[in-house]
Amino acid sequence: MSLARATGEPPAPAVGILTASAIGCTALAALRASRGVVHRLADSGGSAFWAAGDEVVWLTSKEPLPHPRAIVLSAPFPSGASEAVLSADRLTAWRPSLPVSTKESASTLAAAAPTLAAELLSLERPRGLGVLLAGGTPDFPLAHAREGLTRFADAARGGDSDEIARAAGALIGLGPGLTPSGDDYLAGVAFATRLLAAADPSLSPRGRTIRHAIRRAIQGRTNRVSASLLRDATDGLGFRAMHELCDALAAGDSGAAERAARGLSAIGHSSGWDLLVGLVEGLGGPSSRSRL
């Protein structure tokens, strides 16, 4: 199979078959559909986002596997290559499960989230939207983010899908980078509502309304990578650290929760903190007031 494309540009260096040592469920399905062929999209922090057919996958050397879209390679991929073929033969895909399953554990999560945020602030210097949890003002372009987040939180409590979509639309794309802070915040909220709805059926209609409104707002407002990760969150699929954090909170394991929260806060320049802010807000449930 030829990997050359008729672009009029010099062909990229030839690449043999690269071998994966671990793979997420979304990435494995995408690789099977593309017959292993991937095309580079963007680089970020030593990792690279590639396209496998219509899906975004994340090639990395980080262990443990960080996300359902991630593929851990057994050797570094060639830095100058724009296309490659990946082999994931005989690998079992990591498929995270929703970590809470009872109404009681959902209540435990809701009660633990704000305490966790306060504890994390005492351990690390917040970045991005995390500065809001400390009562500060983030740097430009997030200096006025508090108003947008408050509007979204109010709309989510009100339950009007159109208003939620409008408020979400104002946040999507807010901030620099491949996954802007506004996108990550909404991903945290969406992940939390999916989690709680699975544990407490009474929260399902509200959560479904919020997630549907966020998905409506994504179209055309952010880049392909961030849109894919945000849609994943609406389906309850997130970074491994998010799953581990919520699992630990639901179980009342403060040590594991702290370790997972530290891991989450370390993601990207501020993505982990932005996700954490969204998680804290989303886990509060419909009766909570914004903590920002």
Using one digit for the tens of pLDDT, what is the confidence trace for 147-203?
Answer: 999 999 999 999 999 999 999 999 999 998 889 999 999 999 999 999 888 878 888
> Quick one: which of 82, 73, 72, 30 has its CA closest to 52?
30
**Would you call 80 exposed, middle or buried from its count of C-beta atoms within 10 A (0-12, 13-18, 19+)?**
exposed
**The whole model's pTM is what?**
0.89
Residue 183 is predicted with a pLDDT of 98
**Would you call 280 exposed, middle or buried from its count of C-beta atoms within 10 A (0-12, 13-18, 19+)?**
buried
Q: How far is CA 227 from CA 113, 216, 250, in A?
A: 26, 11, 28
Length of the chain: 292
Cα–Cα dist 193/190, whole Å: 5
Residue 273 is predicted with a pLDDT of 95
Using an 8 Å Cβ cutoff, are 233 and 191 in contact?
yes
- pLDDT tens digit sequence for 129-157: 999 988 899 988 999 999 999 999 999 99
Cα–Cα dist 65/74, whole Å: 12
